[in-house]
Every structure is written in C-alpha cells, then in structure tokens.
Amino acid sequence: MTSNDDYVLELLQEQGYVASEQIEAVMNSIKQEGETTLDILVQTGVVSEDDVLAMIAAQFGMEYVHVNADAIDPAVVDVVPSDVARKYGVVPVCANDDTVTVALSDPMGYDTVDSLRYVLKVNVEAVIAPTAEVRAALDKLYPEEFENIYGAMSDDEIDVSEKEKGLGNSDAKDSDAPVIRLVSMIITEACKLGASDIHLEPMERHFRVRYRIDGVLRQMDNPPKRLQAAILSRVKIMSNMKISEKRTPQDGRIQVKVQGKDLDFRVSSVPTNHGESIVMRILDKSNLAFGLPQLGFLSDDQNKFERLISLPDGVLLVTGPTGSGKTTTLYACLGQINLPDRKIITVEDPVEYQMSGINQVQVNKDVGLDFSAALRSILRQAPNIVMIGEIRDHETADIAMEAALTGHLVFSTLHTNDAPSAVTRLLDIGVKPFLVASALRAAMAQRLVRNICDKCRADYTPSERELKMLGSFSKGATVSKMFKGKGCATCSQSGYKGRKGIFEIFQIDDTIQRLIFDHSPATVLRARAREMGMRTLREDGLLKVASGMTTLEEVLRATMGDAD
C-alpha cells in the first residue's frame, strides 16, 4: 500500500486506529509472498484503507479523493503519457495551463512528484486515492499498456508446443489472457532483438525484465509489479514446473515457434527475497548451422583446428568461463565431422541442442547416471567420437584420457582462464601426468567479443594510446585507422551486432609432453607454446581489431587477465 509501512503503523498506533498487540499478532502470523503487516490489517478489517489513506493525507497536508475514470476529461489524460503514468502509478485528474494534478496511492514515494515535474516539464500537484481505484483508472484510461511496452504483435508470431497448449488452455480463464499475451510479447521481443536469455527478476518495489544481448544485459520496460505473480506462474506453466512450489529451485523447458522459427527455452527458477527469479535461456536451433568459419577463426587457426578435429584419437579440450561459447564450438566441431561412417555419442547436462545423426545422452543424477557412469556405458557402444559436456571430476577425466588411449577422439570442456592451464587443471584433479601427456592433443581457450555493426560501421583515426596498446600486443603491427559502430536502429544504438570468438590454441608436441611428465607449471608450458608460435587471446583479438571486426575496448574487456 505504501513504501514506508513502518512509519504508517506508528501513526495508526498514535491516533488510536490499532493497538500494539494487534500489530504484534499480525507480525507473528504467516504471510503470503509479497504481503506486509499493513496489508493484513486492512484485509482482516482491523483498519480500512480509507482510514489509512485519509490519515496519511492529513499528515502530509494533501487531499484525499476518489477517482472515477469516466469523469476525467480525455484532454487531461493526454497531458501524462501512458508509459509515464504506468511507471509512476499515477492518474491525471485535472490540469490547467501550467499545473497538472495527479492521483496516487502511495504518498510515501517522496520522489514521485519531483520526478514527474522533471519528466513532464510542468508543475505537478498530488492527491491521494485508493489503490484499487488508481489501478482501475490506469487500466481504463491507458488500455494499450502491453503494446506500448513491447510493441504490437500479431497472434501468429508465437506458437507453443502442443503439450504446452493443452496445459495452458485447460486452466486458462478470460482474465488470464492479458498475462498470456504479455509473456508472449516478452518472448517475441527477446527473439527479435537476438537475446540469448531473458531475466525476470522480482525487486522490492518493481518487477524487472532484462535481456542478455550479445553478452550484455539490457534493461527493458518493466511490467507492473502487480502482475509479477501472474507472469511468473504463466512461465512456470509453460515450462511444466510446479506452480505451488515456491521454496525450492526448479528447472524446466519450453518449446515454441516464434515467427516461424523453432526455439527451445531452458528455464531456471530460484526463490529470492521478493519472489522467484526466473531465467529463460534461448536455444536457437539455427545456431547448429554454424560451421567453423562462422565462429570467427582467422585462416591459420582454422586450418590448425580443422587438422586437430580430424585426428583419429586423443583428447581435445575447449576452455573458458561460463558464457564464452564453448558448447557452440563443440557442436560446430561435431557438425563438421558428423559423417555416416562415424558413430558419435555425447554426454551432456543438459542436452542443449538435439542434433540429427548423433546419439545424445542426458545426465540424470537422480538415477545415478552422472558423467562418469554414462561415459563408462557409452564406451561399450563402440563409438568413434565422444563428446563430454564438461570434465568436472577425477573419475570422468581418467575415463576420458583412457578412452583416448584406446582409439577414441574425445571432445570436452574445462573452466580455465587460458589454454595451457588446462594441463594444470587436469593434474590438480588427480589425473596422472603420463595420461595427460599421452592422451591430450590440444587445448583451446576462447572468449566472445561483439562484432561492429555492419550498418553503422565507420572508420576513425586511432589515438596515440590506442596505437601504442595495439602495437605492444600485436608485435609491432602498424594500423592507420580503426573502426567502430556509430549506433543505429539495427544494433539498438549500441554499435555492435552479433559476436565472434577470439582463440588461443595450445598444441602438445614432444617437448611439452616431457614438461607435462615433469609436472611443469602452466607458465613454463605457456612459454614453450609461445616459442612454437601460439597466439594469445589478446593477440588474436587485436588482429581482429586491426581487421575491423571488433573494437579495442571489446578485446580489452574480454582479455583483462591476459598479461602477454
């Protein structure tokens, strides 16, 4: 009801509306999500909302009124745009030449009137009105709420799977239709903007929606806080989660068709202080069409990597932090070597993309099917190529190395900052040095950097600092001009559109094998690899800056830990 309930409770006690015992009893009672002590006092009839708001109005020297949307002049409504009225939760009730009077239900939001004065460029006066009347007036006076926030969307733009249709329609009511449409708009807009995931985050006083676009979170227009529970329930229904369970994390999946494109959403729900936070990761099946050239390799690195993935046996590792594109790279590798004369089996947690012609195994810890158990079983299936989603423990790593020594080509990922550190990581989790030296063929570290938008790409003369930095890390290469995006509608004014990888390929030769046998540290392995001609992540990135693919800022951001 208000943004400072403690203060209001003190006033109610002072003026004799409630007793301290009544407040204490309510505080000790079990509250539903989002309920406050003041809410329960009003709901149970201990005090009325009219009394509360009238008391607050008198305290602040404001007028307490009742709002009737039908009695408000349309010309007054035009003074306050829909997005402003919705954002601040106010209804304009009258206006003259230089002043507009707005009704609000939370007089404790001290900065609301000041913010409105700044946004509307007119003097603003406020009156207090009941919450329900303000909400009803907003819905009637500004009926295009969802379209204003997310843009118009035709009914055939999004189509959920048959399973979800049945689930949603069986319980849906006419009153649920706006929420169903709003969730569809959130999903559709994310897909239009090329987002990789959608974040629905309950905050204390608002409900935040953010999209991750090209690796960067971008704030979107927020739906009303009052729709938070309905939106989250709708997403949980779509992803086949338990709606009544709000105390423990849940996972689910959604299959939808947006603008004719089949998409999978991996959905994760986690309880937080102000409600359940839901993240929807968008798995676009069209990304499976990515080949190695689309990943961003320079020609020499691509030739090197193609030779590595054509080897008959050995272990190839892709390393990097979460969100660096490791899984996409592995799928691109499998897509290139997926031929009729080869049997490929993967062990994943979870299976993100379903690939034709490849046997994919989903880890299920509830029945004891973890990475190591699944890997032992699939090796009895006589595969040529095995892909392990991630090497996490000693047992899985040992089985992978032994599989490589018995004639299998094994792909997997590790979480390390650079490629040579993959060796150190394997030794740290308990793999014997002779196994690592004998089985490991190469490790490739990677990061993702944003591409300069092709539509607004423009050259500029680099500063002395930029030239110095570029030269110090690209072995004296001279560049007369660099490129950046000016910002346009295509890239949402960011100057970037899409992402490509920067890579560091660490190959194992006889000398490095001996160093591994001797348990040499990663710094020694890295020095030997540099002698062999390995480009570091930053050097690879700076070559791509010089070629006009990305910017110096992007490469520096992605390679902050690269000291070479």
Token pair for residue 288?
């499976």
The angle that helices 464-473 and 537-546 make with each other, rounded to 10 degrees, is 130
Inter-residue contact 102 to 79 (CB < 8 Å): no
Residue 303 CB neighbours (<10 A): 12
Helices and strands, counts by H and E, the chain: 24, 19
pLDDT, block means (10 residues), the chain with 564 residues: 66 75 70 64 76 80 86 86 83 87 77 81 88 85 55 46 42 60 89 91 90 89 85 91 89 83 88 93 71 86 94 95 88 89 90 84 86 89 92 91 94 93 94 94 95 91 77 56 86 88 95 93 93 92 89 87 57
pLDDT at 285 (0 to 100): 66
pLDDT at 342 (0 to 100): 92
First CA to last CA distance, the chain: 57
Distance, CA of 362 to CA of 357 (rounded, Å): 16
Q: Any idea which residue has 């320079």 for tokens?
A: 298
pLDDT at 249 (0 to 100): 93
304 membership: H or E segment, kind and range: helix 299-309
What 3-state DSSP class applies to 335? helix
The three-state (H, E, C) secondary structure of 471-502, written as one string = HHHCCCCCCCCEEEECCCCCCCCCCEEEEEEE
Q: Any idea which residue has 């030769």 for tokens?
A: 509
Length of the chain: 564
Distance, CA of 564 to CA of 555 (rounded, Å): 13
In sequence order, what DSSP letters do the residues of 274-300 get, joined into one string? TEEEEEEEEEEGGGGG--HHHHT--HH
Distance, CA of 222 to CA of 161 (rounded, Å): 27
Residue 68 CB neighbours (<10 A): 13
pLDDT at 434 (0 to 100): 93
pLDDT at 561 (0 to 100): 62
Residue 330 CB neighbours (<10 A): 21
Distance, CA of 389 to CA of 346 (rounded, Å): 7
pLDDT at 29 (0 to 100): 67
By CB atoms closer than 10 A (0-12, 13-18, 19+), residue 394 is middle
Distance, CA of 401 to CA of 323 (rounded, Å): 26
Q: Any idea which residue has 């207090």 for tokens?
A: 128
Q: Any idea which residue has 């309920």 for tokens?
A: 35
Backbone angles phi and psi of 30, in degrees to 5: -85, 125
